[in-house]
Amino acid sequence: MTPPVVEMEGVSKSYGPVHALRDATLTIARGELLSIVGPSGSGKSTLLNVMGTLARSDTGTTRIDGHDVADLSDGELSALRARAIGFVFQQFHLAGGVPAVENVADGLLYGGTRRAERVRLAERAMRRVGLGHRLAHRPHELSGGEKQRVAIARAVLGDPPLLLADEPTGALDSRSGAMVMDVLHELNAAGTAVVIITHDHGIAGSLPRAVQIKDGRIEHDTRAEVGA
């Protein structure tokens, strides 16, 4: 039986006296689409960091793609992250003066993939997010929504089973934001589990599942309402 892409059991994380995450238990099946929603300071970013293996929890168990992260060395953790998780942030983190396709291809720069293959995969990823006509454009020649789609293409370059999107529409106007959400829905329809971290209850309410977090605790999970 294929394991869930994310399993967190009793996970807590503190930074000094601040309890950023308290006894969080969360399971995300492969191919799910959901939001993690809460106000600023609620623990969303800490949950993202633990789920994305960017931070280790103080207590509890976290399994990503079937692997208990506590059993992995830093090198093994980096390899798991590179293979299994894609990240999209509110800021695009694109290199200025570099064509969009090269920005995407750089997502595999340290994986040992030859440049020609990196570019081929990058072109495919950009077509996947509707930017096949923007391959040679540099970031300053792209709209905000197009920049975010370039960032998404880079995140899914290696076809990870899990995509973590942290406020992906936060820096965009409503029209560009809607286009980015359409892309995320399409990626999910193709089989990628997509987790959208947001403070926007409108976005959260439009998704099949919403996990609400406050003061470091998961307060409500709509998945439980349908007995999934």
Query: How far is it, in rounded angstroms, from Cα 101 to Cα 138?
Result: 9
Tens-of-pLDDT digits for all 228 residues of the chain?
789 999 999 999 999 999 999 999 999 999 999 999 998 889 999 999 999 999 999 999 999 999 999 999 999 999 999 899 999 998 999 999 999 999 999 888 766 788 899 999 999 999 999 999 999 999 999 999 999 999 999 999 989 999 999 999 998 999 999 999 999 999 999 999 999 999 888 999 999 999 999 999 999 999 766 444
Identify the three-state secondary structure at position 98.
coil
User: Is 111 part of a structural domain of the chain?
Assistant: no
Range of the domain at 13: 6-88+155-225
Phi and psi at residue 212, in whole multiples of 5°?
Answer: -100, 130
CATH value at residue 159: 3.40.50.300
pTM of the model: 0.93
- Let me know if residue 144 belongs to a domain: no
> In total, how many domains does the chain have?
1
**98 in a structural domain:** no
In a domain, 148, yes or no: no
Task: Please tell me the number of Cα atoms within 13 Å of 103 on its side-chain side.
Answer: 28
Reduce the secondary structure of 101-127 to three states and give it as a string: HHHHHHHHCCCCCCHHHHHHHHHHHHH
DSSP 154: H
Structural domain contains residue 129: no
